[in-house]
Amino acid sequence: MISFNIQQPDSGIKNALVDKINNLTKPKGSLGTLEELALQIGLIQQTLSPQLCHPQNIIFCADHGIADEGVSVSPKEVTWQQTIHFTHGGGGVNFLTHQHGFGLKIVDAGVDFDLPYERGIINMKVRKGTRNFLHEAAMTEEEMNLCLERGAEMVKRCEAEGSNILSFGEMGIGNTSPSSIWMHLFAHIPLEQCVGAGSGLNTQGINRKLQILQQATDNYNGSKSPKEIISYFGGYEMVMAIGAMLQAAQDHLIILVDGFIMTACMLAAMQLHPAVKHYAIFGHCGDESGHKLLLDAMGAKPLLNLGLRLGEGTGAICAYPIVDSAVRMINEMESFQKASITKYF
């Protein structure tokens, strides 16, 4: 079983970072969130001159047994259709990776289809979809550990290619359902506040989804340990994302967190290793019901609020230019002393 050693970034450099940021040619604090990001990134990288190298987005794709209960308006086959579609370059995530210079990796974590791997999809399939957690655990402990290992392996591949900042996305019809349950059980938020429309359910559909998820949580009588909750309700793509987040934090990489599902994965990762949050930048507050509540419960400050709810890593990638601006600020702005400007605050 894989284990991770994640430590909070050493704060020994913090005063020097704050001093550098405060002495750039601007009023103290006048660049707001950019200053906060520059400090966070400097701490992660343990340098006064941080850099962003070869950003990449990894999409983990898998199917969910709970989708058989009609918890999503989208049919199950959309998972494999979209996974293949990403390889054609015409998906939502594709134009954003092109725009912002991201590499893109598409991973089959557990799609219920024989995918064309010759098109560049990375085969890390654990099983053709999870089991239906309304009736039994979605995955075994062995499968969960395999997902953590394979998610970590994807991060190592990106590191070998020179990446130090990664975003993670997902494709899996029905995956707002396990996300809602993780939110409910880990953040102790009433389930009805955690359940939303997903890809477009109407009010009747949302109410039915809530009833099914309530029954699933009522049926669960396990130990309620974080790992058991993760494995009982999670998706293969979601647990691979957790493994990727933990590996990225262990290796002091910047993690760009996407929407509702990836925020739920970060919440789950924090149950295993709380220090992982220090490496996370939350890209946006999505339009899925419950996402703002979840971010608030985690004490997370998202960079954008654009009404997005696509997933795939799209919101995280949209936020990347703000992160880039923060790094450019600390590296490219001159100090008052160097610019021969009187400090005016």
Query: What's the CATH code of the domain at 28?
Result: 1.10.1610
Tens of pLDDT, residues 195-220: 988 878 899 989 999 999 999 999 99
Q: Is 192 found in the same domain as 106?
A: yes
SS3 content of the chain, % helix, strand, coil (to 5): 50, 10, 40
The two tokens of residue 231 are 């494995």
Q: Is 269 found in the same domain as 132?
A: yes
What whole-number distance in Å separates Cα of residue 251 and Cα of residue 216?
A: 36
What whole-number distance in Å separates Cα of residue 34 and Cα of residue 150?
A: 33
Domain span holding position 141: 56-321
What whole-number distance in Å separates Cα of residue 339 and Cα of residue 196?
A: 52
Tens of pLDDT, residues 291-343: 999 999 999 999 999 999 999 999 999 999 999 999 999 999 999 999 998 88
Q: How many domains does the chain have?
A: 2
In a domain, 2, yes or no: no
Q: pTM for the full model?
A: 0.97
Q: Is 129 found in the same domain as 82?
A: yes
Q: Is 74 found in the same domain as 29?
A: no
* Catalytic residue annotation: 312
In a domain, 344, yes or no: no
In a domain, 81, yes or no: yes
Contact criterion met (CB below 8 Å) for 215 and 209: no
